[in-house]
Amino acid sequence: MSRKELNIGLYGFGCVGFGLYEVLQKTPGLKANIKNICVKDRNKSREIGIENFTFDKNDILNDDEINVVVELIDDADAAFEIVSAALKKGKAVVSANKKMIAEHFTELLELQEKYNVPLLYEAACCASIPIIRNLEEYYDNDLLESIEGIVNGSTNYILTKTFAENLSYDEALKQAQDKGFAESNPILDTGGFDAKYKLLILLAHSFGYVAKPADIFNIGIDGIGELELKYAREKGLKIKLVAQAFKGTDGNLSAFVIPKFVSTEDRLYNVDDVFNGVLAKTSFADTQFFVGKGAGAHPTASAVLSDISALSYNYRYEY
């Protein structure tokens, strides 16, 4: 199959943006070239031999040679402005911004439809696990009964370190931040918001249901204390932050994010550290289990790379 040549305009050159740059250097087979990078901070030194940095978002939007926008910035509102402007200009978009997608899902679906351009966001949900692509392709005709998983790497890292290594909560969180796993506002991780945004994306691709963040309860890990840890240790259990969605017998969907005790029988029990794990219960294939690194520069960049590659053969989500 002949592949389209891609000229990329990249927004954001932080942990994942730089990770993508590195990953692309090691992927010579893909005809994808970063033509321009838009960054916010003028004073940061970026010694990577690329001349093409801009501070004006319009330089990329107005460049007709750029056919793919990759959005890897932190701010969800600014990200939505960029992504919607790019779609309106007919540029395909890859984004890793789960908050932006969750908060603007309906508008983003309308823009894709109206301007007939794809928006891909595999990296926004469970980083390196190709869960959206699987939900889109493999389960297209097999009805899903439930989706359950550990979808936030930072909280899983914190829970693993506090439980198994007796690290303090603050120290474990600091490590998650130093390793580039945590959001710049870590409440998004620890309060279960990031997991909720990802669950909302999973809901759309598994049940075709577009929810709003306010529709889904999220309880994070902040309320877990010594008492719960002691109970888990005594009973041979672990505590995991689990995002869950299922169809009830009445056909109604339930979805929530909540910390749970899990036993050794549960496949999520061994999903530790920064790993994520997703269980898909289906009508015909029973339960399938996806596992992989859920945060960090290269695992996230790997998912962005996969979306870029998919755009080269005009892939788009059908929902």
172, 224, 294, 303: which one contacts ligand HSE (CB under 6 A)? Answer: 294
Backbone angles phi, psi at 233, to 5 degrees: -60, -45
Q: For residues 248 and 208, is the Cβ–Cβ distance under 8 A?
A: no
Least distance between ligand HSE and beta carbon 239 (Å): 16
Task: Please give the positions annotated as active site.
Answer: 198
Spell out where the chain has E strands. Answer: 6-11, 32-38, 53-54, 68-71, 92-95, 119-120, 144-150, 217-218, 238-247, 253-262, 275-282, 287-293
Longest CA span, the chain = 62
Check residue 103 for interaction with ligand HSE (CB under 6 A). no
153, 191, 220, 277: which one contacts ligand HSE (CB under 6 A)? Answer: 153
Least distance between ligand HSE and beta carbon 278 (Å): 13
CB nearer ligand HSE, residue 57 or residue 198: 198
CB nearer ligand HSE, residue 54 or residue 175: 175
CB nearer ligand HSE, residue 148 or residue 194: 194
The number of angstroms, rounded, from the C-alpha of 119 to the middle of its chain's C-alpha atoms is: 14
CB nearer ligand HSE, residue 83 or residue 85: 83
Least distance between ligand HSE and beta carbon 159 (Å): 12
Q: Classify burial at 284, counting beta carbons within 10 Å of its beta carbon; exposed 0-12, middle 13-18, buried 19 or more.
A: exposed
Q: Which stretch binds ligand HSE (CB under 6 A): 27-35, 60-68, 109-117, 180-188?
A: 180-188
CB nearer ligand HSE, residue 89 or residue 260: 260
122, 136, 148, 189: which one contacts ligand HSE (CB under 6 A)? Answer: 189
Least distance between ligand HSE and beta carbon 6 (Å): 24
How many residues line the site for ligand HSE (CB under 6 A)?
Answer: 11
103, 122, 136, 183: which one contacts ligand HSE (CB under 6 A)? Answer: 183
Q: For residues 238 and 192, is the Cβ–Cβ distance under 8 A?
A: no
Q: Which stretch binds ligand HSE (CB under 6 A): 33-41, 57-65, 99-107, 151-159?
A: 151-159
Three-class DSSP category at 216: coil
Q: For residues 189 and 174, is the Cβ–Cβ distance under 8 A?
A: no
From CA 57, how far away is CA 48, in angstroms rounded? 21
84, 134, 152, 218: which one contacts ligand HSE (CB under 6 A)? Answer: 152
Backbone angles phi, psi at 59, to 5 degrees: -60, -40
Q: For residues 116 and 212, is the Cβ–Cβ distance under 8 A?
A: no
Give the closest residue to 169 by CA, choosing from 95, 232, 224, 88: 224
Which tokens go with 108?
A: 């983003």
Check residue 191 for interaction with ligand HSE (CB under 6 A). no
295, 297, 303, 310: which one contacts ligand HSE (CB under 6 A)? Answer: 295
| Binding interface with ligand HSE (CB under 6 A) | 127, 152-154, 181-183, 189, 194, 294-295
